[in-house]
Amino acid sequence: MKLDYKPFKIITNMKKLMIAAMMLFSVSAAFAGDSEPLKAILKAQTYSEAAELLNSNLAQITDNAEKAKAYDKLFELAMKKVSAEQGVQLENETNKQMGKEGNKPVDEKGLYEAVGQAFDAASEVIKYDNMPNAKGKVKPRYSDLADKLYPLRGQLINGGIYFQGAKDDANAYKYLARYVDTADDPIFSKFDKSKDENLNEIAYFATYYAYQNKDFKKAEKYVSYALKSKDRAKDAQQLQLAILGSQLKTRQDSLNYADKLAGIYAQDPENDAVLTTLTSTYSALGMQNKAEEIVNSALAKNPNSYGALVMMGQFASQKKDYETAANYLSKALEQAKDDNARIAINASIGQCWFYKAQERVAAVKGVLSPAARAQFNEVYNKAISYLETAKKLDTLKEQKSSWAYPLYGCYYFVKGAQAPETLAAAADAGVQ
């Protein structure tokens, strides 16, 4: 048995050596054709080292297959960092569930930077992998990259939140936008987008950042998703209107904008924001009859239409029919749904009565009689009641410009220049 065992062991070991030699040969053969710049990149131990080598030697790597291979190395190194930090997170979470104290530090910034690097590298891999190689043939080798990358999309959201918290809006926008952009990326076509429960919500924030950056083309793309959000649809629509309105340069632009608004309004005639924006646009274009036609039609269908009542109040005020304007706005006030709207409408009603009183005073020639002053005071006091309500609601004084000066004018007439109420109103209005 011993004699039989020893030869078997020898033969087995020889086979292992032969196999190892063959594997070594095959590896050597695989790298034999690699250019020197590529070899250096493939030996890199960190992403930053590989990236620096690639950036400085990219022009020397003329073969698209080699470029794909080089960027794949960057992808692997980025994923190595991602896996390491995710491993720490998992360990911390496991210990927490088991009641163990103490957490290992997580390099959050490094994690999310690596996530971004992985997506950047993968994009380049796929680009060059689908280009002709040195022999003029397209032979993709990295078709499985999408399977590795897609589960990482959720970290783009986390990265966006992280950078948002760090007040780094540029990177917050970059990560959230990438999350939305990758939903339509052809490399992820096999994944069911309808199962992405976060897409529409994240698209709203991406839209906001795009709008802030005046990246209107992207904003229009993102808002198309955001409008489908259950929780953000109304806010998204406001953003959509702002996006469209921000791109107006000529009268023709404004007319095209009005046409778009008209189309949106036709689909959603109960939408007050669209109604007010549409009719305001027509009014600004000098198409007052069209604006009033739309508003009157809305009121005929619904006498309590908030948007229509607001616009009728504005139109009447523009015509200096202040009493009629105040009546329409008072009806709108009953429909107001939040404090911002209540502030604005109370201030507008107060302005109407203030201007009405000013108009009457201006029409009187000579010194006012006590009886006339009393009549005027009645109108001024009516204005004060609405303006004071607006002031009270506007705790942060964000809408001060709408109520401060009219309130000062009212108190000046009713109380006199040195009254405490007048002086306080003067301070709010910035009157010296």
What are the pLDDT digits (tens) for 58-98?
Answer: 988 888 999 999 999 999 999 999 999 999 999 999 998 99
Give start and end residues of each alpha helix (H) in 150-286: 153-165, 169-181, 199-212, 216-226, 233-245, 251-267, 272-284
Across residues 282-293, what is the average pLDDT? 96
Q: What integer pLDDT is reported at residue 195 of this predicted model? A: 86
Q: What integer pLDDT is reported at residue 33 of this predicted model? A: 64
Q: What integer pLDDT is reported at residue 314 of this predicted model? A: 96
Contact call for residues 425 and 404 (beta carbons, < 8 A) = yes
Structure tokens at 312: 């009728």
Query: Does 399 have pLDDT greater than 70?
Result: yes
Q: Which residue do the tokens 């073969």 mark? A: 63
Angle at 308 between CA 303 and CA 311, to 5 degrees: 140
- What is the rounded distance in angstroms from the CA atom of residue 18 to the CA atom of residue 30? 18
- Domain residue limits, the chain: 339-432
Predicted model pTM: 0.71
Contact call for residues 271 and 261 (beta carbons, < 8 A) = no
What are the pLDDT digits (tens) for 127-178?
Answer: 999 999 878 889 899 989 999 999 999 999 999 999 999 999 999 999 999 9
Q: What integer pLDDT is reported at residue 372 of this predicted model? A: 87
- What is the rounded distance in angstroms from the CA atom of residue 414 to the CA atom of residue 411? 5
Q: What integer pLDDT is reported at residue 12 of this predicted model? A: 34
DSSP state of 197: T
What are the pLDDT digits (tens) for 243-274?
Answer: 999 999 999 999 999 999 999 899 989 999 89
The residue among 213, 286, 118, 210 whose CA lies nearest residue 223 is 210
What are the pLDDT digits (tens) for 322-370?
Answer: 999 999 999 999 999 999 999 999 999 999 999 999 999 888 877 888 8
Structure tokens at 216: 């209107």
- What is the rounded distance in angstroms from the CA atom of residue 418 to the CA atom of residue 415? 8
**Which residue type is seen at 161?**
I
Query: Does 285 have pLDDT greater than 50?
Result: yes
What percent of the chain stands above pLDDT 70?
A: 92
Q: Which residue do the tokens 């229509």 mark? A: 308
Contact call for residues 411 and 425 (beta carbons, < 8 A) = yes
DSSP string for residues in 359-377: HHHHH--SSPPHHHHHHHH
Contact call for residues 115 and 82 (beta carbons, < 8 A) = yes
